Amino acid sequence: MSNNPIETIFSEPVLRRLARAALKHMPGAWRAKACWDAVGRPQYLVGAFYAADQARREGYDSAALIEFGVGEGYGLIELQECAPAVERETGVRLAIYGFDSGTGMPEGTGDFRDHPDVWQRGDYPMDEAALRRRLDPRTTLVIGDVGETVLERTFEEPIGFIAMDLDYYSSTAAALRIFERKDLRRLRRVAM
């Protein structure tokens, strides 16, 4: 991508930019918004639709959407804001879970795959009280070491979507242990 503002402006076809701008302000049309990147995190909206559609195909009336690595909470809020629209279009109730240490990035493990050259302890701190004030009842914030909380937390709904927003390899590997649990229900296909 160029640093030249003129090149940046014209890096996409004009009609695509106009369509995306129009969709952002159009009520409804949530599937189109996901396809045209007309929301803050289209990958989260697409994941929510995928989970809801899959749950409906499998005969469930609900699904769990999970974000590992909440940080300041922007992704969790994005999931929370798109959930009502997805529910209206699919008829599937969505519950949202966010997993985070609550203290920012933990101490690195020393494993080069954690990129100690990029990440430092305390990066992405959370103001837990401020974030909790923004969460609605459908959203659960799970605070603690992901290596422990992922093995302890129970879900009433089958898991349908997981967003991995963990920067460390070791934290991501720990979060993926959710798939080792035999006591959890999940959809046949979980979007990630």
How many domains would you assign to the chain?
2
Q: Contact, 142 vs 98, CB < 8 A?
A: yes
Token reading at 29? 């049309």
- Could you tell me if residue 34 is inside a domain? no
pLDDT at 52: 97
Say if residue 21 is in the same domain as residue 95: no
- Could you tell me if residue 4 is inside a domain? yes
- Could you tell me if residue 169 is inside a domain? yes
Alpha-carbon dihedral sign for residues 38, 175, 134, 82 = positive
Per-residue model confidence as pLDDT tens digits over 102-155: 887 777 777 767 676 666 777 778 899 999 999 999 999 999 989 899 999 999
pLDDT at 7: 59
Please give the span between the terminal C-alpha atoms of the chain, in angstroms, as a whole number: 26
Residues 6+ apart with CB under 8 A from 18: none
Question: Could you tell me the CATH number of the domain that includes residue 150?
Answer: 3.40.50.150
pLDDT at 18: 77
pLDDT at 73: 92
- Could you tell me if residue 89 is inside a domain? yes
Say if residue 43 is in the same domain as residue 83: yes
Say if residue 148 is in the same domain as residue 74: yes
Say if residue 153 is in the same domain as residue 59: yes
- Could you tell me if residue 93 is inside a domain? yes
64: part of which helix (H) or strand (E)?
strand 62-68
Say if residue 13 is in the same domain as residue 60: no
Say if residue 111 is in the same domain as residue 19: no
For residue 189, report the phi and psi dihedrals to the nearest 5 degrees: -125, 120
Say if residue 138 is in the same domain as residue 168: yes
User: What is the largest distance, in Å, between two alpha-carbon atoms of the chain?
Assistant: 54
Q: Which parts of the chain register pLDDT below 70?
A: 1-12, 112, 114, 116-119
Running DSSP on this structure, what letter comes out for residue 159? E
Say if residue 69 is in the same domain as residue 11: no
Say if residue 132 is in the same domain as residue 180: yes
pLDDT at 2: 60
Percentage of the chain beyond pLDDT 70 is 90
Say if residue 25 is in the same domain as residue 82: no
Domain that holds residue 15: 1-29
- Could you tell me if residue 71 is inside a domain? yes
Say if residue 96 is in the same domain as residue 125: yes
Say if residue 2 is in the same domain as residue 72: no
Q: Contact, 104 vs 127, CB < 8 A?
A: no
